[in-house]
Amino acid sequence: MTGTGEEFDRAFWEERYHGHGGHGGGRPNPQLVAEVAELPPGTALDAGCGAGADAIWLAARGWRVTAVDIAEAALDRARRHAADAAEEVAGRIEWVRADLTEWAPPERFDLVTTHYVHAAGSQDELVRTLAGLVAPGGTLLVVGHHHGDPSIASTHFTADEVAAVLDPDVWTVAVAESRTRPAPAGHGGTMHDTVLRGHRRPV
């Protein structure tokens, strides 16, 4: 995850992933599965990859994945999970320790996906940064905590707020909505997700 201020900086996430916190490395995010399963594989950026479940799911479907997280402890956990996958799956993933607000990759991607990233600075700035990393004809998927989810108030946003950041002359917004789903096992209750899927128009 990308840190913000003193609360969600690198030290916060390193400590969390050294313990038992952080996003698990087992199942991919269901919104990723719902929105990406039918896309043809290409290059993908998993922005704020955590323990690696989404990157591994993408790689298993033929994507060449760059998985970025601010915490080395998260990447260590992700690499261990990837080692349990088939060799060709693990070989399609490049793990990168970086702050998304400062990182400049050498390429743009066919898919940029991010789930529950805690932005350093405004959420708008993060969306602009990630949108700029999508290649012409590519897809941006942003999943976050909707305003109806009381778990992390500082990171709430709506799909309309994300869509408003995207230039309508460049982007077609295919999905912009809130969804509910059962919380992961052991957490109880219901999660309220913001889901935006946009497509950058070809040049």
Query: ∠ at Cα 45 (156, 134), nearest 5°?
Result: 85
Q: What is the pLDDT of residue 195?
A: 95
Give the Cα separation of 66 and 169 in Å (integer): 28
Mean pLDDT across 68-85? 92
Residue 148, pLDDT above cutoff 60: no
| Predicted local confidence at residue 19, as pLDDT | 59
Exposure on the CB side of residue 41, measured as CA atoms within 13 A: 12
Q: How does DSSP classify residue 153?
A: G
Cα gap 176→121, rounded to integer Å: 23
Q: Which residues of 163-201 are buried (b: 16+ CB within 10 A; e: fewer)?
A: bebbeeeebebeebeebeeeeeeeeeeebbbbbbbbbbe
pLDDT recorded at residue 191: 77
Residue 179 and residue 137: Cα distance in Å, rounded?
26
Domains of the chain, by residue range, sit at 10-200
C-alpha–C-alpha distance, residues 191 and 147, integer Å: 11
Beta-sheet strands, E only, within 76-189: 93-97, 109-115, 134-145, 171-182
28, exposed or middle or buried, with CB in 10 Å at 0-12, 13-18, 19+? buried
List for the chain the helix, strand, coil content (%; round to 5): 30, 30, 45
Average pLDDT of the chain, as a whole number: 85
Residue carrying the six token digits 């919104």: 31
Residue 121: the pLDDT is 67
Residue 151 confidence class, pLDDT cut points 50, 70, 90: very low
Q: pLDDT tens digit string along 3-14?
A: 334 466 665 555
Class in CATH terms, 10-200: alpha beta
Q: Supply the pLDDT for residue 145.
A: 72
- 199 vs 12, 72, 135, 172, CA distance in Å? 33, 31, 10, 5
Euclidean distance between CA atoms 72 and 12, whole angstroms: 12
